[in-house]
């Protein structure tokens, strides 16, 4: 009986080793030669019957994976694939490879290495969530539990616990949650959920240290309400119009009383003046389809190429995407059923501050979608004292942005010339993150 038990145990170990080995990817279609980093892909089932299968890409740090921090990266949307963070250089947080734009003549688009990937100094898990994003899918056609902000906080926490169970070597690594745009609603809630989970008996502890957010959505009455002050600060509207707006609208430009005709007219004037502005990056033009050199059209072309790449059969086989689980990969799935049930993430930021978690909040200073004016406002509302006041942070004796640090271990930073996502500021964001994560003064 003992011999049979040993045989079964050895067989189980062999099978487990085979599964682990099968998830490691040494090369990718479109990339010349072996990958210069270690990539793993797979699914983690969450939910009572593990009906939701969340797809992830895990890339080990290229520096010191045993000791470097572990980051869980979420894209915005909701519904955008985390492949955006891995493949696109036009987002602030660059992945280790990107789509080659030049010379495409059909077939599988080429991939090339990047210089300023955060994987140079951190282990990164890129997660497709909520279900329906990227390659994540549900085993049942209709979910009784529609994904929501608060629901995703619980699902992502469950994902993380199961992922760490399968990767025990990373349990002790400093852990951070990171994301951009709409993830600003969900990431603080995930941090709170993980923190609460660390106090539950018999559950594995997560070495949670903090979180990172870029141009984060926080609350409509903050984000949208500060677009008008931002437009004034950037000389998009006149002093006279701004003063009239403040006076007639009483600084409230969202859900205006329909009887306040003067305010409504002024807001209409504001929208007319800014209708030609690209709100993602106010320095970039709004493009016409006939503009072949338009930056935005070039980005759409890159999105198209990434769709060609992700939907190629050989790519899906290499990534080990479950056959039949997804008819087509799309960058952002706008048809996901989703409940936005966190009205404001500020209470979560407050709670995370009380629990002592560090945070880096950064904004492109030319982003009008989530203007830094609003981000500064909700950070001020936390009412923490300033320990390192407003100052420039530098790269090669040049101003790369401005920063301020608070007593709750929250650092706010701007990236000069940066937009919401459409901006080539990978070097700046990499150096900013490198300094912050290593505890250096930015």
Q: Which residues are marked as active site?
A: 181, 367, 420
Strand duo 386-395 + 398-406: pairing: antiparallel
Instruction: Dig out the tokens for 334 from the structure.
Output: 């706008």
Peptide bond into 78 cis (omega under 30): yes
Contacts 24+ apart (CB under 8 A), 294-298: 295/422, 296/422, 298/101
Q: Cα–Cα distance between 348 and 184 in angstroms, integer? A: 10
Show the CA angle centred on residue 250, arms to residues 268 and 376, nearest 5°: 95
Peptide bond into 130 cis (omega under 30): yes
CB-count burial class (<10 Å; 0-12, 13-18, 19+) for 370: buried
**CA of residue 253 relative to chain centroid, distance:** 28
Residues 6+ apart with CB under 8 A from 389: 404
Instruction: Dig out the tokens for 1 from the structure.
Output: 């009986």
Q: Cα–Cα distance between 399 and 365 in angstroms, integer? A: 13
């Amino acid at each position: 009986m003992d011999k049979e038990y040993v045989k079964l145990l050895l067989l189980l170990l062999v099978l487990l080793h085979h599964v682990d080995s099968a998830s490691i990817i040494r090369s990718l279609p479109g990339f010349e030669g072996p990958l210069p980093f270690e990539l793993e892909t797979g699914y983690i089932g969450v939910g009572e019957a593990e009906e939701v299968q969340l797809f992830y890409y895990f890339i080990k740090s290229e520096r010191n994976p045993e000791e470097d921090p572990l980051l869980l990266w979420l894209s915005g949307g909701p519904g955008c694939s985390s492949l955006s963070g891995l493949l696109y250089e036009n987002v602030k947080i660059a992945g280790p490879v990107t789509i080659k734009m030049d010379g495409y003549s059909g077939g599988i688009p080429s991939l090339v290495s990047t210089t300023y990937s955060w994987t140079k100094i951190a282990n990164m898990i890129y997660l497709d969530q909520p279900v329906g994003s990227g390659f994540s899918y549900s085993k049942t056609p209709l979910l009784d539990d529609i994904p929501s902000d608060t629901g995703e906080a619980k699902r992502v926490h469950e994902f993380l616990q199961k992922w760490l169970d399968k990767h025990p070597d990373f349990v002790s690594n400093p852990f951070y949650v990171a994301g951009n745009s709409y993830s600003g609603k969900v990431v603080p809630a995930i941090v709170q959920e993980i923190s609460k989970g660390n106090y539950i008996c018999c559950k594995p502890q997560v070495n949670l240290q903090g979180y990172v957010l870029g141009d984060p959505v926080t609350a409509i009455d903050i984000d949208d309400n500060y677009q008008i002050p931002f437009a004034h600060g950037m000389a998009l509207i006149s002093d006279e119009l701004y003063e009239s707006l403040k006076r007639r609208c009483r600084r409230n430009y969202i859900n205006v009383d329909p009887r306040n005709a003067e305010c409504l007219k002024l807001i209409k004037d504001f929208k007319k003046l800014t209708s030609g502005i690209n709100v993602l990056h106010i320095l970039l033009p709004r493009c016409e389809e006939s503009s072949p050199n338009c930056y935005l059209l070039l980005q759409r072309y890159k999105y198209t190429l990434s769709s060609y790449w992700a939907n190629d059969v050989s790519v899906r086989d290499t990534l080990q995407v479950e056959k039949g689980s997804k008819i087509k990969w799309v960058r952002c799935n706008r048809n996901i059923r989703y409940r936005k049930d966190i009205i404001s993430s500020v209470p979560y930021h407050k709670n995370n501050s009380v629990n002592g978690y560090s945070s880096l909040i950064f904004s492109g200073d030319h982003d009008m979608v989530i203007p830094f004016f609003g981000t500064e406002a909700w950070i001020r509302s936390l009412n923490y004292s300033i320990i390192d006041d407003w100052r420039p942070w530098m790269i090669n004796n040049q101003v790369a942005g401005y920063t301020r640090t608070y007593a709750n271990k929250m650092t706010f930073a701007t990236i000069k010339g940066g937009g919401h996502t459409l901006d080539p500021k990978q070097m700046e964001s990499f150096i900013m993150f490198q300094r912050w994560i290593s505890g250096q003064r930015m």
